[in-house]
Structure 1
Amino acid sequence: MSEPAPPTAAPAPADATAPFQDTVGDADASAARAAMVDRLMQSGDLSPGAVADALLAMPRQRLIPQAYVRRSAPDETPPRWDLLDWSDPVHRPELLRVLYSGDSVSVQHDGEPLLGRRAGSREGGAMTAMSSVMGMTARLLGQLDLRPGQRVLDVGTGAGVTVAAACRIAGDAGVVTIDRDAHVTAAATVRLAAIGHRPVVVTGDGELGWPERAPYDRVFVSFAVPRVPMALVEQLAQRGVVLMTVGTSSPSWPALAVITKSAAGVVEAELRAEQFGHRAGWGWDRLSLSAAFRQEMSSGDGVTSHGHRPPPPDEAHGMWLALDHLHPGLVRAFGAPGLQIGSPACGSWLRVSVDGNGTSTITASGPRPIREEIQQTAARWKAAGEPAFYRLEFDANGTQWASSGRGRNRLSWQLTDDRPRTTEDSR
């Protein structure tokens, strides 16, 4: 595989326009925007302050004037989507709901150019750029503690929501956004200018950062990585903060890496177990459960045994995070009744139901001892003090370790970058 081309700053386009004024439909968008912000506050994902003000001021229908809606069932193949366009009055009611629902918004199909597209249907392929779920984005922007005058690096431009918020709070002059897809950066340059923002927009590998404007007070990565890209840490200013999702080949148990650099230049980091995280970045095709495999896990025959101690609850995010790293290759079937976990690589699965007497019934199939892996990890996690976060340590050789506890009770694992380039299994 060839090395990525050196990053290049995207030039400002000639057709960048002044900020839009409300036209027909924009008043409705303003009301929908206010309602979305109110929902985020009610859920606890957003607090009054700079981030809330930025989201209230962000006309998403101008920043994301086109978006996809899926018309096929989740497991239907080939998948089918419709591209909606705000310039078409017929599309506006549905697009308004999509943009301000708070859900993720798909904006690019199979790496296509984003500018000059015609609305209509698409079939097959996959979505390759999106705006993340707003609850998660709002929480992370709040944790980032953006302030006026800060230098901000937004890694993974996507639909431009986080960079627009950073510009609103910190000011355009200190903000850089980078994405490896030239179609994404070209569209972001035009659409950010259309709502009055002109940050530096760069086409390049975000994991390498953008040293030309370093150091940065804040670095925000909007895609998941298997380990921390050290270039981003090196480009962090004193008293700076980096936030990014760290995960494995499984999407089920993400973590948030929080990295700080003190006034003396000392780097400290921790890995916080989270319920939700960003999707995998470019070149990382993570595991999934097919419809047939989920059906087998839900109702298939296996070896059933009774009277087991129930596994740790879903809220024990630190335990499940440890399981994901110590015993990789497992995927949780969220939304299924009870606990259902499968190993797509070998076809093994586990189904757990809690009995009325406080014990659980377990049905398992396949060669992998998933129940024993959970038990062993739970015991080590309890001995380490049931941590919800882990120290993240970097050594001079580039090795990265997550750990908690001391001595015999230490629970730890090494972060490695073994991103597969193709789907590991089609189950």
Structure 2
Amino acid sequence: MTPDHPTWHAAELRKQLAEDLARAGHVRSAEWRAAVESVPRQEFIPEFFAKIDRIDGPTLWDPISAERSGDDRWLEVVYEDISHVTQLDGKTTAADVVEAVDGNPTSSSTMPSLVVQMWEDLEVVDGNRVLEIGTGTGYSTALGCHRLGEDNITSVEVDPQVAARAGRALGRAGYRPHLVVGDGEAGSPDRAPYDRIIATCSFRYVPSAWLEQSKPGTIILVTLSGWIGGTGLVKLTVTGDRTAEGQFLPGYVSFMSARAHNPEPAIIPNLSEGSGSRETELGPEVLTAYGPAQLVAQLAVPEAQHINFGPGGDLPEHLLVQPDESYAALSGTAANWTVEQGGPHRLWDQVETALAGWRQAGEPDIETFHVTVKPGEQQVQIPGGPSWRLPSGGETGSQSGLGRLQVTPHTDRCPGTDG
């Protein structure tokens, strides 16, 4: 084995990755293929976590590095088309531990196929100035630098430690874009206006600052998600002063939420104060299965969280709850579900009405859903069918009921984010 074997091996793995992504249709242009072949992903994830699922306990995360696994095996895993978790609980990295640990993922390196596909969907052309929300490891940022030049890339990261690691990795790889530590929702006005905006974390709505830092014709690519799990990648074109419109793209893309868009711990209200139970034709699959039905349910009750307690306990198997103490409790079997509702809003009634409208429209998939952004109002509409307003900053309801049972949301279901 020659001293430069790891470097040679990494170059071969990059070529193979680029070939695989092109064959699968994720890479569609020579420029982005060249970026994949050139950017050394190993510089951005020198250590990361491998997921260990357990039946009898919480998920564990095993630290992976060249030192622990050997250069060849480490590089092969680095260049697999999968996401790699790089941080747990907002602080712990794989370099901080020596054995598998419990934790909640808070940053990761997105699978290359999704990263490049999103860059392709952004439709950049030479000279475009791009605002990236969520620097994360810096790998996506580096791809953008290779394609457009480092001076045209501005990337915002909320976590100072994550941002510092990304800056060092970008420097090692030979790139020096404009890096900002701050809230991605605020964008980066110093470098505005931008021709393109891309987010590698999800939001409940499109931040108004992005519209203010755009111009007519700017393309915005962002994953819209929520607290039930409905999610989709939206491509918007800015049409005027703080206005934009577009549609969800085909497929289901899930990113970790921007931290300001995560819910507070759910407060379980007094379930004995609800109305009597009734039968419902809808089961919990509309809350748990990725697809348009889940997205519609989430649009119907955007302030609600879904908690799955499972069968056999004192609490209902599935609970929808929002901060004003409105709730819907589902219990039963696959053939017979009942719902009990309480609080000022009948959450399950709202879900049933929304799903009925979607079905009446022919049960369209999400790529037909139209998104309109205007000052003070953002809306998702099924053409010829119902529409729903997206939440906006501050519309989170009151946090009444403090002192009751609280459940902290768990967010490791996402395939990954560079944010």
Shorter chain as denominator, the TM-score bin is: 0.7 to 0.9
Aligned to 1:178: 156
Aligned to 1:42: 23
Structure 1 distance, partners of 2:90, 2:264, is: 21
Please state if 1:390 is matched with 2:343: no
Contact 2:244 2:374 in 1 (8 A): no
Aligned to 1:144: 122
Please state if 1:367 is matched with 2:367: no
Contact 2:221 2:235 in 1 (8 A): yes
> Do the aligned partners of residues 305 and 322 (structure 1) sit closer, same or farther apart at CA in structure 2, a change above 3 Å counting?
closer
Stretch of structure 1 that moved more, 170-179 or 24-33: 24-33
The residue correspondences of 1:342-421 to structure 2 (distance < 5 A) are 342-343=318-319, 345=321, 347-348=329-330, 352=334, 362-367=335-340, 376-384=353-361, 386-387=363-364, 388=366, 389-396=368-375, 398-405=376-383, 409-417=385-393, 418=395
> Do the aligned partners of residues 351 and 424 (structure 1) sit closer, same or farther apart at CA in structure 2, a change above 3 Å counting?
farther
Aligned to 1:56: 37
Contact 1:257 1:269 in 2 (8 A): no
SS at the partner of 2:389?
Answer: strand
After TM superposition, give the deviation of residue 208 of structure 1 in Å: 0.2
**Contiguous gaps of at least 5 residues in structure 1:** 1-21, 289-301, 334-340, 353-361
Structure 1 distance, partners of 2:329, 2:355, is: 23
Aligned to 2:89: 110
SS at the partner of 1:223?
Answer: strand
Aligned to 1:92: 71
> Do the aligned partners of residues 195 and 97 (structure 1) sit closer, same or farther apart at CA in structure 2, a change above 3 Å counting?
same
SS at the partner of 1:196?
Answer: coil
After TM superposition, give the deviation of residue 185 of structure 1 in Å: 1.4
Aligned to 1:282: 259
Spell out, residue by residue over 1:319-344, the C-alpha distance to the aligned partner (whole angstroms, 9 max, x if none): 442222114547699xxxxxxx9435
Please state if 1:208 is matched with 2:181: no
Stretch of structure 1 that moved more, 129-138 or 220-229: 129-138
Structure 2 distance, partners of 1:121, 1:245, is: 33
SS at the partner of 1:193?
Answer: helix
Structure 1 distance, partners of 2:12, 2:75, is: 10
> Do the aligned partners of residues 416 and 266 (structure 1) sit closer, same or farther apart at CA in structure 2, a change above 3 Å counting?
closer
After TM superposition, give the deviation of residue 385 of structure 1 in Å: 5.9
After TM superposition, give the deviation of residue 119 of structure 1 in Å: 6.0
Aligned to 2:238: 261
After TM superposition, give the deviation of residue 68 of structure 1 in Å: 1.6
Structure 2 distance, partners of 1:227, 1:83, is: 34
SS at the partner of 1:238?
Answer: coil
> Do the aligned partners of residues 70 and 287 (structure 1) sit closer, same or farther apart at CA in structure 2, a change above 3 Å counting?
farther
Spell out, residue by residue over 1:347-369, the C-alpha distance to the aligned partner (whole angstroms, 9 max, x if none): 525765xxxxxxxxx33254269
SS at the partner of 1:33?
Answer: helix
SS at the partner of 1:279?
Answer: coil
SS at the partner of 2:259?
Answer: coil
| Higher RCO, 1 vs 2 (CA within 8 Å, ≥6 residues apart) | 2
Supply the AA of the counterpart residue of 1:261.
Answer: V
Structure 1 distance, partners of 2:87, 2:192, is: 30
Supply the AA of the counterpart residue of 2:389.
Answer: W
Aligned to 1:66: 47
SS at the partner of 2:216?
Answer: strand
After TM superposition, give the deviation of residue 96 of structure 1 in Å: 2.5
> Do the aligned partners of residues 163 and 113 (structure 1) sit closer, same or farther apart at CA in structure 2, a change above 3 Å counting?
same
**Contiguous gaps of at least 5 residues in structure 2:** 266-276, 309-316, 322-327, 410-419
Stretch of structure 1 that moved more, 36-45 or 365-374: 365-374
After TM superposition, give the deviation of residue 210 of structure 1 in Å: 0.5
Spell out, residue by residue over 1:230-265, the C-alpha distance to the aligned partner (whole angstroms, 9 max, x if none): 1011111332111111111122x2122322125x76
Supply the AA of the counterpart residue of 1:280.
Answer: S
Aligned to 2:325: none
After TM superposition, give the deviation of residue 304 of structure 1 in Å: 9.5
Q: Note the aligned Cα RMSD (angstroms).
A: 3.9
After TM superposition, give the deviation of residue 145 of structure 1 in Å: 1.4
> Do the aligned partners of residues 393 and 98 (structure 1) sit closer, same or farther apart at CA in structure 2, a change above 3 Å counting?
same
Contact 1:384 1:411 in 2 (8 A): no
Please state if 1:168 is matched with 2:146: yes
Aligned to 2:5: 24
Supply the AA of the counterpart residue of 1:82.
Answer: D
Contact 1:344 1:425 in 2 (8 A): no
After TM superposition, give the deviation of residue 157 of structure 1 in Å: 0.6
Structure 1 distance, partners of 2:56, 2:201, is: 24
Structure 2 distance, partners of 1:237, 1:419, is: 30
Spell out, residue by residue over 1:188-226, the C-alpha distance to the aligned partner (whole angstroms, 9 max, x if none): 111111111110111111110111111111111111111
After TM superposition, give the deviation of residue 412 of structure 1 in Å: 2.9
Structure 2 distance, partners of 1:277, 1:61, is: 23
Among residues 325, 348, 366, which one is paired with 2:299 in the alignment? 325
Please state if 1:220 is matched with 2:201: no
Provide TM-score, normalisation by structure 2: 0.74
Provide TM-score, normalisation by structure 1: 0.73
Among residues 191, 202, 207, which one is paired with 2:169 in the alignment? 191
Contact 1:80 1:123 in 2 (8 A): yes
Spell out, residue by residue over 1:371-392, the C-alpha distance to the aligned partner (whole angstroms, 9 max, x if none): 9766543431244465533333
Aligned to 1:295: none
SS at the partner of 2:164?
Answer: helix
Aligned length, in residue pairs: 367
SS at the partner of 1:159?
Answer: coil
Aligned to 2:57: 76
> Do the aligned partners of residues 110 and 279 (structure 1) sit closer, same or farther apart at CA in structure 2, a change above 3 Å counting?
closer
Stretch of structure 1 that moved more, 230-239 or 172-181: 230-239
Aligned to 1:12: none
Structure 2 distance, partners of 1:424, 1:227, is: 25
SS at the partner of 2:228?
Answer: coil
Percent sequence identity over aligned pairs: 21
SS at the partner of 1:415?
Answer: coil
Supply the AA of the counterpart residue of 1:102.
Answer: D
After TM superposition, give the deviation of residue 33 of structure 1 in Å: 2.6
Please state if 1:246 is matched with 2:224: yes
Spell out, residue by residue over 1:84-107, the C-alpha distance to the aligned partner (whole angstroms, 9 max, x if none): 333x27443443243222111111
